Structure 1
Amino acid sequence: MSPTPPPRPTPPDPPAHGSCELADVRIDGYSLEIEDEEGLVGDQASQTAFRELLADWRARMERAGRDPLGPTPSEEMSKAELDRIATSGDTEAARTVALAIDEFSQRLAYVIGRLMRHPSWQGVQRIVVGGGFKESVIGRIAIRQTAARLQTENQPEALRALQLQPIHHGADDGGLAGGVQLLPAELRQAGGAMLAIDIGGTNVRCGIVRFGPGGHDARVTAREKWRHADEEGEADLVEGIVGLLRQLMAGADEEGLALLPVLAVGCPGVVMPDGSIDRGAQNLPSDWRQASFHLPRRLQENIPEIGGAATRVVMHNDAVVQGLSELPFTQDVRQWAVLTIGTGLGNASFSNRSGAGHGAS
């Protein structure tokens, strides 16, 4: 008779959902909702806001003669098409896009100024910009123009000293790779591979993240993406996520890759310690905003085991998780923040633990 294999050791519990005290960094604040006379200031600097600005400039051009961008509505134009127009040279269409970019950068600089006045952002030395917008030519131009605006003499000293730069990971990877930082130090110590989920108002991404000892060199080695916003009616988002995870698990089995029995989830909204979502999930299906909805429990019910061990889920705000992917690159500053420009504008601010940021400017 074959000897009975020893029981698998029970992995340590991940931090509480939405925890602001992680092993290497403290989350000073996230999902801030700052208002002015126009409403929430963050609504002025999202991809949705850029499309609205573009539509407004096109309407002005049409009143003066004709719309140089043609018949396609602004919200239906692809990023590739807008990038092509923006780089097409000295044309009326390119100038129209440039005017929208310029006004957007004004608004983004204004939003940053308002955030920097919040107590949780005071002392921030660097802002990293994530989200799908920074992947486009128009997004990169807008970020550069915003950085230049913050350097002008009429800005407060804190804004003039601020560094503004894109995150290192691509838009499809940052919200997955950052999930490694949600694991307890014991699970990160030896390195390994894990499943991560990044839920947005338009897309959901699931991936396998491999990382080295201590959680270093996190990289997404397999990824599945679903544009749930294109589904007719309200898609069953949990069912879709579970389907993507099962595809990834099957691929890992074929490869002989052992996965940690943990799911790291980034989700819009304020994530409570019990795993419920308080506010900020307005772009997700309506049932997600009900008090009875509990995403970690739903995931555990559908994926009860990974590699023969009970599945554990740790969830945090999606902007926080995307920001955490930048942690290895922010060790030269003490305080930093992330803005994620997507369907909405996500925000989070961080303080590195003792020993990080010494000598930072």
Structure 2
Amino acid sequence: MASHKRKKKASLPPPEIHGARELPTVLVEGYSLQLRDKDGFIGDQASQTAFRELLERWRRRRRKRGRDPLGAKHSKDLPKSTLDATLKAGQTSEAADMVHGAIEEFAEELAWVIERFLRQPSWQGVERIVIGGGFPESDVGERAVLQAAAILQGMGIDVQLGRIGHETDDGGLLGWLHLAPPPLLKGRDAILAIDIGGTNVRCGIVKMRRKRAKDLSKAKVQRREKWRHADDGPARKVLVERLVDMLHDQIRYATKKGIRLAPFIGIGCPGLIRKDGSIARGAQNLPGDWESEHFHLPTELGKKIPTIGGEPALVLMHNDAVVQGLSELPFMRDVKRWAMLTIGTGLGNASYTNKT
């Protein structure tokens, strides 16, 4: 009688692999560095929030002499498009002068923060820094990054600064393809990913498109939903409920379009992520207490979405800057050491060493 061997299932990773540092082709040297000086965390001085405060100081000085050409709105409420339009209106306008002044001050702060990071063991030898987050996607942010690069060069610091190579809203989703367990991706078209920031939440379907590029350099966010939760000020429970609704909507879309989803959900959020998926520190910009021992987001989502495509869903969490940085991994093969800075509500950071 012929013997029938039972087909061996692909081995899955152990459950406590949140915040993974050792990946197949790259090592996450460090992330969520919180360096202090006499004024507090130095990263806070190079965030988008910090830029808005610098601009507000310039405007307060102007108001002492008369009308503020940028109007009555506080600087934190001015749209990026308004500031960009101010720069395009002409270099000699009073409004443009104030914005330029804030850009120059911010660029100095950013260069100083980078110089401090480069002194840390996990950043030593970094050859290139990718800048992501919401700030550099604007004209104002791009000018600040360019000026910071020039300042660093003038300081004799040999490091390249470059903007993220795709839409900022996509980076925190695309990077999950490099963190998802390979056995779960086999025979699948896409994964589900979430990017939670201090201002926005993004949820999307990320297609691998391996036929176009095995290294995932052609991966694409097929569909994305963005919610500016900072405008609504939701309680933590409400935010979680909205995440579940967003995920269910993406699953329905994938089913309708015939997209084969892996049984996997990746969650990126600020802070230091423990191996068990809890947040050790750094989640202060999120609504509610995300560092509570009684709150575990992967478990919360796993209860609401236990299966995808009839298979048990694996829900993993990692730091949002790490995830966004990994979206650039296919384009970082020409350097050994590189890093990521995300300039948003706060300043996220991560550093990497390529293994090959």
**TM-score bracket relative to the smaller structure:** over 0.9
The Cα offsets for residues 80-132 of structure 1, whole Å up to 9 and x where unpaired, read as 11110122102111111000011000000000000001110000000000001
Tell me the CA shift for residue 171 of structure 1: 1.3
Change (3 A) 1:190 1:347: same
Matched, 1:123 2:125: yes
Q: Distance in 2 between matches of 1:135 and 1:312?
A: 32
Q: Does structure 1 retain, via aligned residues, the 8 Å contact 2:321–2:350?
A: yes
Distance 2:86 2:346 in 1: 24
**What's 2:64 paired with?**
63
TM-score of the superposed pair, with normalisation by structure 1: 0.91
Residue in 2 that maps onto 1:13: 13
Report the counterpart of residue 221 of structure 1 in structure 2.
222
Letter in 2 for 1:180: L
Q: Residue 163 of structure 1 corresponds to which residue in structure 2?
A: 160
Instruction: Indicate yes or no: 2:349 matched with 1:352.
Output: no
- Give secondary structure in 2 for the equivalent of 1:223: strand
- 1:261 is aligned to 263
| Inter-partner Cα distance in structure 2 for 1:81 and 1:58 | 15
- Residue deviations 1:109-166, cap 9 Å, x none? 00000000111000000000000101111011111111111111xx24xx2x200000
**1:285 Cα deviation from its structure 2 partner:** 2.2
How big is the shift at 1:70?
Answer: 1.8
Residue 3 of structure 2 corresponds to none
Cross-structure match for 1:192: 189
Q: Is 2:202–2:225's contact at 8 Å kept on the other side of the alignment?
A: yes
Q: Which string of whole-angstrom CA distances, capped at 9 and with x for unpartnered residues, describes residues 268-297 of structure 1?
A: 110000110110000112232211111111
Letter of the structure 1 residue corresponding to residue 206 of structure 2: V
1:130 maps to amino acid: G
| Letter aligned with residue 166 of structure 1 | R
Output aligned runs, 1:1-361, within 5 Å: 9=9, 12-13=12-13, 16-89=17-90, 90-152=92-154, 155-156=155-156, 159=157, 161-188=158-185, 192-213=189-210, 214=214, 216=216, 217-234=218-235, 236-353=238-355, 355=356
Q: Deviation of residue 232 (structure 1)? A: 4.3
- Aligned 8 A contact 2:278 2:291 in 1: no
Q: Which residue type is aligned with residue 221 of structure 2?
A: V
Structure 1 Cα separation of the partners of residues 255 and 269 of structure 2: 27
| SS of corresponding position for 2:274 | coil
Instruction: Tell me: CA distance 1:68–1:307, structure 2 relative to 1, closer, same or farther (3 Å).
Output: same
Output the CA distance in 1 between the equivalents of 2:138 and 2:62: 24
Q: Is the CA contact 1:337–1:350 (under 8 Å) kept in the aligned structure 2?
A: yes
SS at match of 1:349: strand
Deviations for 1:157-199, whole angstroms, at most 9, x for unmatched residues? xx2x200000112111000000101023444566621101101
RMSD: 1.8
Say if 1:291 and 1:95 are closer, same or farther in 2 by CA, change over 3 A.
Answer: same
8 Å CA contact retained: 2:184, 2:264: no
**5+ residue gaps, structure 2:** 1-5
SS in 2 for 1:195: strand
Distance of 2:120 and 2:20 partners within structure 1: 20
Deviation at 1:233, TM superposition (A): 4.8
Does structure 2 conserve the Cα–Cα contact (< 8 Å) formed by 1:18 and 1:317? yes
TM-superposed CA distance for 1:348, in Å, is 0.4
Q: Please tell me whether the aligned partners of residues 45 and 111 of structure 1 are also in contact (alpha carbons under 8 angstroms).
A: yes
Amino acid at match of 1:95: D
Distance 1:65 1:107 in 2: 29
2-side partners of 1:212 and 1:233: how far apart?
Answer: 36
